[in-house]
Amino acid sequence: MKRDIISVLDMKSDFEKFVDDGIKLKKSFKAGVKDSSMDRKTLGMIFEKASTRTRVSFETAMTQLGGHAIYLSPKDMQMGRGETIADTGRVLSGMVDALLYRAFEHENVVELAKNSSIPVINGLDNLEHPTQIVADYMTIKEKKGKLKGLKIAYVGDGNNTANSLMLAAGLVGADFWIATPKGYGPPEYFVKESRSIAKRHRSEIEVTNNYREAVAGADVIYTDVWVSMGEEQDREKKEKAFRSFQVNERMVSLAKKDYIFMHCLPAHRGLEVTDEVADSKNSVIFQEAENRLHAEKIILKKVID
Ligand code: CP
Ligand code: NVA
């Protein structure tokens, strides 16, 4: 049976294995070990929205593993002229070995997966960003040597990245605190699901509007943009509501001394994070971005035969 990665929940049984195998693969790549496991394999990559990291990391991952990737924009595809997602999935299933899809709507990723006989990987939608989260927990494990028992504080918008990070926190047994302005918390479904997973791993998921209690004693402080792709019409309102949630030197002074600062990027410096924090010795944002390349490789190797 094919394996889709649409949600972090599709890695429920082996999420930490993705993380550990990703770290191993990165080490062997850096040691010069050749891996041609994607020989003659092709990844189709449909991007409805902009991307730097996801596009380049998946394309490079395929190249380094001896395969090939095709960038597809709905603007240039028949999908943009009314061909259905279902028909697109059926057609591409006969030509490529897996599909990566960055979509505005989660339902469309589900629809593509349902109508494709090949694996579909969610390259970010309005609800989740699962491939990012593998790279994130790889980075935390590299820096902290463990995941279980850590306190991760996410400060900002209860968005796609936050939902996926929160689901995975329970899977690795980390405590997860999310602090957002009132009205911008994560959807109830994700909180409930994350709490039920966390309970089994004896960790906690806490949702608050008070960033001080979230950040107090944290091992990791994570933020993301306040205005995600597709929400541009809310920019003014959101920037006002989020002003006091900026990750700055005053805020991070509440965390553990050796805390690490993370951001999936792109960062809007001066808004959700200051230059002082983003460029500080505690910041791991570029290691985190580089880890996308290694995370994508492990994801591809696990879904493509
Ligand atoms: N973090 C991330 O997904 O970046 P891109 O939007 O550049 O792909
Ligand atoms: N939450 C952001 C993540 C970008 C990688 C967005 O959806 O735009």
Q: Using an 8 Å Cβ cutoff, are 156 and 228 in contact? A: no
pLDDT digit string (tens) for 76-88?
999 999 999 999 9
Domain residue ranges in the chain: 8-128+292-303, 132-289
Give the containing element (helix H, strand E) for 110: helix 106-114
224 lines ligand 2 (CB under 6 A): yes
Supply the pLDDT for residue 2.
98
Q: Do 132-289 and 8-128+292-303 have the same topology in CATH?
A: yes
Indicate the class that CATH gives domain 8-128+292-303.
alpha beta
pLDDT score recorded for residue 125: 98
pLDDT of residue 158: 98
Please give the average per-residue pLDDT across 270-290, as a whole number: 98
Residues designated catalytic: 102, 129, 132, 224, 264, 292
pLDDT of amino acid 187: 98
The overall average pLDDT reported for the chain is: 98
Residue nearest to atom 2 of ligand 2 (CA): 228
Ligand 2 closest atom vs CA 227: 8
pLDDT in tens, 172-220: 999 999 999 999 999 999 999 999 999 999 999 999 999 999 999 999 9
Residue whose tokens read 């089994």: 200
Give Cα separations from 90 to 5, 38, 94, 96, 162 (angstroms): 18, 22, 7, 11, 32
Any ligand 2 atom below 6 A from CB of 139: no
pLDDT of residue 70: 98
Ligand nearest to the CA of residue 54, numbered in listed order: 1
CB atoms within 10 A of CB 302: 15
- Band (pLDDT 50/70/90 cuts) for residue 160 is very high
> Ligand 1: which atom is nearest the Cα of residue 265?
1
What would the mean pLDDT of 47-52 be, rounded to a whole number? 98
Residue 161, ligand 2, Cβ within 6 A: yes
What CATH number has the domain spanning 132-289?
3.40.50.1370
